[in-house]
Amino acid sequence: MLAMLAVMMAVIVFTSVAHALHPPGNVETINPLTLHLEGEFMESNLGTALEPDGSVTVRLIAQQYSFVPNCLLVPAKTPVRFRLTSPDVIHGFLLVDTNVNTMIMPGFISEVRTSFARPGDYFLPCHEFCGLGHHGMWARVVVVPKEQFAKLSRTQRVGCEPG
Amino acid sequence: MNRVSRLALCHYWVAFGLFLPAVVLGAWQMLMRSPLPAPLDDPNTYYISMSLHGTVMAYVLTTFFVMGFGYAVTATSLGRPVRGMMAAWVGFALCLFGTLLAAAAILAGRATVLYTFYPPLLASRWYYGGVLLLVGGSMIWVVLMILNMLAWKRDNPGAPVPLAMFAITATAYLWAWSASGVAAELMGVILPAAFGATAQIDAGLARTLFSVTLHSIVYFWLMPAYIAFYTLLPAAAGGRLYSDKMARLTFIMFLVFSLPVGMHHLFADPEHGDGFKFLQGFFTFFVVLPTLMTVFSICASLEIAGRARGGRGLLGWIGALPWNEPMVLATGLSLVMLGLGGLGGIINMSYAMNSMIHNTSWVTAHFHLIFGGAVVIMYFAIAYEMWPRMTGKPLRSKAMARWQLWLWFLGMLITTIPWHIAGLMGQPRRVAIFDYDIPVVARTAALVDVSVLGGVVLLISAILLILVLLRSHLGEKTVERPLRYALAVVAPTRLATSLNGFALWNAIVLVLMLVAYGYPIGQFLFVLKPHSAPAYNVTRDGADSD
């Protein structure tokens, strides 16, 4: 019994240290009342942005009862950093069939890092009760081949209609 | 019927009387979210139903049941009347009044915040006030348990406190520590907004305070089940308790380890960093120990009983057990659900694996299996054991009680196994309507249909429960039989102070809580500059608590 527990504890300590397998741990505050007026969550900054090092950052707002933008385009085989916040109540962010899973809280910026092995269409429901319209709140993440993403213009990378 | 029996029975009847309609709601919710047609097909009604189902099951059924059980245990294990009967009735009245307030606010559509509140969503002040009264009323019970144990110790210096009384007092301390979180959340963050003193709610602080309650409350719910395992089951099976000291150690470990671990519910939250999530996740592993000790102890006690009844060979004693006794049958079924649910729980609390299943149906399945299954089935067994003792009337009938237990067990498995799978397939929790036209959602449709069937089985079982209890209550009076507690193989004559009281353990809890929660709570006051979000009203017309 004790050995079983000890082994599990050892595995968890090992994987979290050696493979950086751990839940989101970024603590960063933001004013929910002004986030749409200034800074990184202004409307023009939302969606997928290419970073100088080749990775991408996806900025997303969760609000009653939608994600903005409600469809995201990201490249496969590329480090992806999601940055999320809420201007109103608590929401959830779950990329079905992956382990991308975080809460989104007003006053805080959630950050999750992942990368997608292959192109595909991912379903993204809000997984935290956020009010009477909760069940209608979902979005999509479309993963396209890295080469295809590179050819898109800055505006084409925002939204899901690859040109 | 003596005075304590009447007090305990009133608590039990409130608990089970509200339990049945809450099961009806649960069964309807499963139909509503399935692809099958449902009556009253309306998402608002779903969320109202869910708020009521959760509030009744998590707060009302449990609190009233544990309080009633506590009074019965105090009188029967100490063998003398409960001191403070008047205060006990005041506590009962406060809890009942609070329950009615909260239920009325939910039914009026003014408190659709489920039972875990989700600030900055804001419900009617009557709802929060009702919940606070329920929790506050139960604190009278906490004080009475502690005082009764202390008074007995004063009158019997040096004697070991009877195990059942020791365990229910551990439960009282545990609940006092646990409830401090939700009480602080309500009084410090939510009620000021509900009463209009502020328009802001610090959601991060509120969630952190609630996490103090969120895990340990589950151990408050399951303590009666464990007390039954240790003190009632061995007697019902015709044997002895394997070890009295091991039992005491188990209850002490629950008190100490179930508290500084609540942040494993916040693994996916952005208001805390890796460090304290890891620390509390690590502490959580220690809560597994008392459960593993219990499984060992219970199996040993049952083996003693089975062999005493003539069971032979390696496993022959299992067949020799009196499985027709509801207490023995319920324990067997409970341990199966505890095993399955417990393994799932180890996944939930595992730092990294939690990301696969956080806020999916997997979690709903987990706590229904552990609490609704393993714990509540023992509530039934305790009721079947105590009803004849408290009413002086025989159980009508044991066969019907066995059917009820089996149906509850099967219904719970048929409901929760599909939920576990759907959760792994990414089905989120707390959703009124699924759009089955979406391919990812469509693949869970068959699983949801199966769980509807489980809901029907559970409903039949709940109706049977009420029938058995009513028929027994209204039956012919026969001779009174006292409640028998199990004797230990080696009954203790003297105990170390630490195994006969809680001063040391409460001091340890205090230190652990300061270590585990000092910074996570303190950061909101001193370190972070969190920007509180304005409170969002979820009442139907929004006119109530602006």
Residues B11-57 pLDDT 10s: 999 999 999 999 999 999 999 999 999 888 899 999 999 999 999 99
| Chain A hits for B349, Cβ within 8 Å | none
Taking contacts as CB-CB distances below 8 angstroms, the residues of chain A near B43 are: 132-133, 135
3-class secondary-structure state, position A74: strand
Q: Which of B219, B254, B380, B485 is catalytic?
A: B219
pLDDT band, very low/low/confident/very high, at B486 (cuts 50, 70, 90): confident
Tell me if A135 and B43 make a contact (CB, 8 A cut-off).
Answer: yes
- Choosing from B6, B83, B389, B430, the catalytic residue is B430
Among all residues of chain A, which has the CA nearest to that of B352?
A: A22
Residue A113 host element (H or E): strand A110-114
- The pLDDT > 90 percentage for chain A reads 64
Q: Which two tokens stand for residue B168?
A: 């229910």
User: A67-71, B307-311, B392-396, B453-457: lowest mean pLDDT where?
Assistant: B392-396
**Does the residue A65 lie in any domain?**
yes
Question: Is residue B269 a contact partner of residue B518, using CB atoms and an 8 Å limit?
Answer: no
Dmax (CA) of chain A: 58
**Domain range summary for chain B, segments of one domain joined by +:** 3-537
What CATH number did the domain enclosing A75 receive? 2.60.40.420
Residue of A nearest to B282 (CA): A9
**A104: chain B residues, CB-CB within 8 Å:** 270
pLDDT above 90: residue A162: no
Residue B278: predicted pLDDT? 87
Query: With 60 as the cut, is the pLDDT of residue B541 above it?
Result: no
In a domain, A50, yes or no: yes
Q: In terms of Cα–Cα distance, which of B225, B379, B239 is closest to B295?
A: B225
Q: In Å, how far are B12, B22, B54, B56, B463 from B18, measured between CA atoms? A: 10, 6, 12, 7, 12
Contact B268 A106 (CB under 8 A): no
For residue A7, list chain B residues with Cβ-Cβ distance below 8 A: none
**Catalytic choice (B110, B207, B368, B420):** B368
pLDDT confidence band for A18 (50 / 70 / 90): low
- Partner-chain contact A23 B355, CB within 8 Å: yes
Q: Is residue A5 part of a domain?
A: no
Predicted confidence at residue B358, as pLDDT, reads 92
| Residue B539 pLDDT greater than 70, yes or no | no
Cross-chain Cβ contact A131/B528 below 8 Å:
no
The string over B245-256, giving b where at least 16 C-beta atoms fall within 10 Å of a residue's C-beta and e elsewhere, is: ebbbbbbbbbbb
Q: Is residue B93 very low, low, confident or very high in pLDDT (cuts 50, 70, 90)?
A: very high
* CB contact (8 A) between residue A27 and residue B270: yes
Greater pLDDT, A155 or B455? B455
Whole-number pLDDT of residue B389: 87
Residue B71, pLDDT above cutoff 70? yes
Task: Indicate yes or no: CB of B270 within 8 angstroms of CB of A104.
Answer: yes
What is the rounded distance in angstroms from the CA atom of residue B13 to the CA atom of residue B16?
Answer: 5
B88 confidence band (pLDDT: 50, 70, 90): very high
d(CA B191, CA B153): 40
Contact (CB, 8 A) for A137 and A67: yes
Report pLDDT digits (tens) over B144-158: 999 999 999 999 998
Residues on chain B touching A130 (C-beta within 8 angstroms): 118, 121
pLDDT band per the 50, 70, 90 thresholds, residue B545: very low
For residue A10, being part of any structural domain is answered with no
- Judging contacts by C-beta atoms under 8 Å, the chain B residues touching residue A29 are 528-531
B3-537: in CATH 1.10.3720.10 = no
Name the domain count of chain A.
1
Residue A85 domain-assigned?
yes
Establish whether B519 is a catalytic residue: no
A21 band by pLDDT with thresholds 50, 70 and 90: low
The predicted model scores a pTM of 0.94
pLDDT of B425 over the 90 cut: yes
In angstroms, the separation between the Cα of residue A143 and the nearest Cα of chain B is: 16
User: H or E segment at B204?
Assistant: helix B203-227
- Asked about B264 being catalytic, the answer comes back as no
A3 vs B305, more confident: B305
CB contact under 8 Å between B355 and A9, yes or no, is no
CA distance A65 to chain B (A): 13
Task: Please state, in angstroms and rounded to a whole number, the distance separating the CA atoms of residues B19 and B469.
Answer: 13
The pLDDT value given to residue B410: 98
Q: Residue B396's pLDDT band (boundaries 50, 70, 90)? A: confident
**Shortest CA distance from B350: residue in chain A:** A12
**∠ CA B460-B331-B67, rounded to 5°:** 80
Q: Is the pLDDT of residue B133 over 90?
A: yes
Of A27, A88, A111, nearest to B533 by CB-CB distance is A88
Write the residue in B270, B432, B433 that is nearest to A26 by C-beta: B270
User: Which of A92, A97, A105 lies at the smallest CB-CB distance from B203?
Assistant: A105
Contact criterion met (CB < 8 Å) for B351 and A108 = no
Residues of A in Cβ contact (< 8 Å) with B431: 125, 134-135
Inter-chain touch A127–B360, beta carbons under 8 Å: yes
Q: How confident is the model at residue B543 (pLDDT cuts 50, 70, 90)?
A: very low
Tally of CB atoms within 10 A around A2: 9
The whole-number average pLDDT for the span B390-405 is 91
Residue A123 has pLDDT above 60, yes or no: yes
Q: Kindly indicate the confidence band of residue B483, based on its pLDDT and cuts at 50, 70 and 90.
A: confident
How many A×B Cβ pairs under 8 Å? 180
| Smallest CA–CA distance from A123 into chain B, residue | B440
Catalytically annotated residue among B110, B265, B366, B396: B366
Least confident piece of the model among A24-28, B24-28, B444-448: A24-28
pLDDT of residue B544: 42
* Confidence (pLDDT) at B447: 96
In this complex, the residue of B282, B425, B430 whose CB is nearest that of residue A129 is: B430
The verdict on whether B366 is a catalytic residue reads yes
* DSSP, res B496: -
- Best of A135, A138, A142 to disrupt the B interface (most B CBs within 10 Å) is A135
Q: How far is A19 from chain B (nearest CA, A)?
A: 10
End-to-end CA distance of chain B: 49
**Residue partners of A140: CB distance under 8 A and separation at least 6:** A70, A71, A72, A121, A122, A123, A124, A160
Taking CB atoms and an 8 Å limit, are B120 and A90 in contact across chains?
yes
Q: What is the pLDDT of residue A160?
A: 78
CB contact at 8 A, B485 and B164: yes
Residue B542: predicted pLDDT: 44
Q: What percent of chain B has pLDDT over 70?
A: 98
Query: Mutation test of the interface with chain B: which of A129, A132, A138, A140, choosing the one with the most B Cβ atoms within 10 A?
Result: A129
How does DSSP assign B28-82, residue by residue? HHHHHTSSS--TT--HHHHHHHHHHHHHIIIIIIHHHHHHHHHHHHHHHHHTSPP
Residue burial A24-41, b: 16+ Cβ < 10 Å; e: rest: bbbbebbbbbebeeeeeb
Is residue B92 annotated as part of the catalytic site, yes or no?
no
Pick the residue from chain A with its C-alpha nearest to B296.
A1
Task: Kindly determine whether residue B296 and residue A15, on different chains, have CB atoms separated by under 8 Å.
Answer: no
What is the pLDDT at residue B475? Answer: 84
Check if B368 is active-site: yes
pLDDT at A20: 58
pLDDT in tens, B210-243: 999 999 999 999 999 999 999 999 999 999 999 9
- Chain A positions touching B351 (Cβ under 8 A) are 12, 16, 21-23
Q: What integer best gives the mean pLDDT of chain B?
A: 92
Let me know if B53 is a catalytic residue: no
Closest residue in A to B202 (Cα) is A107
Place of tokens 């409350």: B217
Which is nearest to A92 in space by CA: A137, A48, A59, A56? A137
pLDDT attached to residue B213: 95
Taking contacts as CB-CB distances below 8 angstroms, the residues of chain A near B271 are: 27, 105, 107-108
For B118, list phi and psi in degrees, rounded to 5: 50, 50
Average pLDDT in the B405-430 region? 96
Q: Which domain holds residue A93?
A: 25-151
Q: Give the pLDDT of residue B208.
A: 95
Closest partner residue to B270 (CB to CB) among A108, A123, A129 is A108
Residue B103 clears pLDDT 50, i.e. is over it: yes
What token pair was written down for B86?
Answer: 């008047």
pLDDT at B540 over 70: no
pLDDT of residue A163: 43
Identify the pLDDT of residue B351: 74
- Among A13, A101, A131, the residue with its CB nearest the CB of B268 is A101
Question: Is residue B283 among the annotated active site residues?
Answer: no
Residues of B in contact with A25 (CB under 8 A): 272-275, 277
pLDDT at A8 over 90: no
Catalytic residue among B207, B215, B248, B272: B215
**List of chain B residues whose C-beta atoms are within 8 Å of the C-beta of residue A10:** none
The answer to which of B3-12, B347-356, B533-542 has the lowest mean pLDDT is B533-542
pLDDT band at B354, cuts 50/70/90?
Answer: confident
Q: How far apart are CA B30 and CA B448, in angstroms?
A: 8
